Amino acid sequence: MTELEKLIGPRPPQELLARERLRFLLPTVFLGLAVFCLLVSIFFPYWRITLLAPQYPGGLQAQVYINRVTGDVREIDGLNHYIGMRPLEEAAQLERSLSVYMVAVLSLLIIAAIYVHNRLAAVLTLPALLYPVIFLADLYYWLRNFGMNLDPNAPLRNAVKPFVPPLIGEGRVGQFRTVAELGSGFYLAALASFLILVGLYFHRRAYKPLVEQALGGAAAGQVEGGAEQAS
């Protein structure tokens, strides 16, 4: 086994590829679909919140994409100002500025895993696999940060105690009711994680025998070399 094969795993022989093409095609298909879902998720909201109040019978809604916030942002910020909550645009500024590049890097790591035929493939895909969980954790951090650090000089500060807006589901602040839900972008990212798991399963089935065979051959070669030196 060469040093390159030790790093990225053995290459399947051409005759084996021709005989068992589906076996080696499935990991590529599922990991490729994961990349597609992850990239497409950029264009859809990951999370949305709807604010319902008597003066807004139709409700106010904000959609959170990985790189921007859209919807009735100005109206919601105006209402939040009275209870001392900072504007929505101030949340996760660093994350939003880097998010598209981060997703691009995650996609490149998945693509690299397609060409790696050993356990390193799982390591390369791990960040993308955990990406939806990381997004939710970061979102919860900012929701808690905003809700628990209200401006003490706000007009209605004394009427509202610090609170944590709901990550998912319903919440109530004074006369306002909020409904938070995950968006299609998040579900696409979660689907990408599922496809990665499936891809890694077929990746292991396809390449683990080749890795074991290569390691067995290398071990046998070392034994023969040692025997020759001893003789």
pLDDT in tens, the chain (231 residues): 567 677 788 888 899 988 999 999 999 999 999 999 999 999 999 999 999 888 887 899 999 999 999 999 999 999 888 889 999 999 999 999 999 999 999 999 999 999 999 999 999 999 999 999 999 999 999 999 999 999 989 888 778 888 999 999 999 887 788 999 999 999 999 999 999 999 999 999 999 999 888 777 544 444 344 434 444
Helices 21-40 + 120-148 axis angle, to 10: 20
What are the structure tokens assigned to 179, written together?
A: 């409904």
Closest CA to 31 of 93, 86, 98, 108: 108
